[in-house]
Amino acid sequence: MNIEKIIDRTYYWIDENTRRTSLALARKLSRRNFLSRLGMLLAGAAAFPLLPVARSFAQNSIQEIGDPQSCEYWRYCAMSGTLCSCCGGSYTSCPPGAEPSPITWVGTCRNPVDGRNYLMSYNDCCGKAVCSRCGCHNTEGDRPVYFNSNSSTVLWCFGTENTSYHCTVSMVLGATDE
């Protein structure tokens, strides 16, 4: 058996399986059902990169300056809570055993090293007693509770198994001039 025959048989196998699967789907599902599921898939794929949780993983390295255990650290311009960097975590990681909340409030902070403004996501770490160290309450761009995406005073332990507040981290989502 030469190589061409192997390729032909492989293509035939793929074609045949695709045909059989398509026929089986066509028997089971209506065209409208198929289109709606395809639409959901496409919309989900398009929306996924927009989610703040996903965007935070896309950040490049950022030049840092200052003390992350100080309330005056540049990332904390719209921070309200206690600093995870003083509680066994860091400005991007929760302390041991705490559960990060996927839902956050946001702010815009200027990094003095490169002079750029960064969109910040403030994630609460949850499920443990409050870590009463390094309390910090900065209100740059803070808005009242009815405008909750920019409200720092809200307890943001949503979507977590336990809803008690432990401390807060500050993640860069991206530069505002990007």
Partner 1 sequence: MYFIIPTGRSIMRFLAAGFALINIQAFAQITPEEISVETMPAPGANWFISKTGNGGYIFDATTGEMQGLLSLSRYTPAVTAYAPRREFYAAESYLSRGVYGDRTDIVAIYDFDNLSPIAEIEIPNHMARLAVRAHMGLMNDGRHLAVLNMNPGHSVSIIDVLDRVFVYEASTPGCAVIMPVADSDFLQVCGDGTLQLIQLDLSGFEENRERSGVFFNVIEDPIFDRATRSADGWYLISHAGNIFEVTTDDDEINISDGWNVQPEGEEGWRPGSRAEFITAHRDLGLIYVIMHEGGVDTHHENGSEIWVLDATTRRRVHRLELESPASSIMVTQEAEPKLIVAGDGTHVFDAITFVHERSIETPGADHFEDL
13 carries an active-site annotation: no
> Would you say 20 or 137 has its CB closer to partner 1?
137
Binding site for partner 1 (CB under 8 A): 103, 127-129, 137, 139-148, 153-156, 158, 161-164
> Would you say 122 or 142 has its CB closer to partner 1?
142
> Would you say 72 or 140 has its CB closer to partner 1?
140
- Of the candidates 74, 124, 142, 156, the residue annotated as catalytic is 124
124 carries an active-site annotation: yes
What values do phi and psi take at 170, rounded to 5? -130, 115
> Would you say 59 or 163 has its CB closer to partner 1?
163
Encode 108-144 in three state secondary structure: EEECCCCCCEEEEEEEEEECCCCCCCCEEECCCCCCC
Distance between CA atoms of residues 4 and 15, nearest Å: 16
Nearest to 102, CA basis, from 58, 146, 143, 54? 54
Distance between CA atoms of residues 162 and 126, nearest Å: 7
* Closest CB 93 distance from partner 1, rounded Å: 20
Strand partners, 83: 168
Nearest to 165, CA basis, from 141, 121, 142, 135? 135
Identify the burial level of 26 via C-beta atoms within 10 angstroms of its C-beta, where 0-12 means exposed, 13-18 middle and 19 or more buried. Answer: exposed
* Closest CB 152 distance from partner 1, rounded Å: 9
* Closest CB 127 distance from partner 1, rounded Å: 6
* Closest CB 92 distance from partner 1, rounded Å: 22
Catalytic site positions: 105, 124
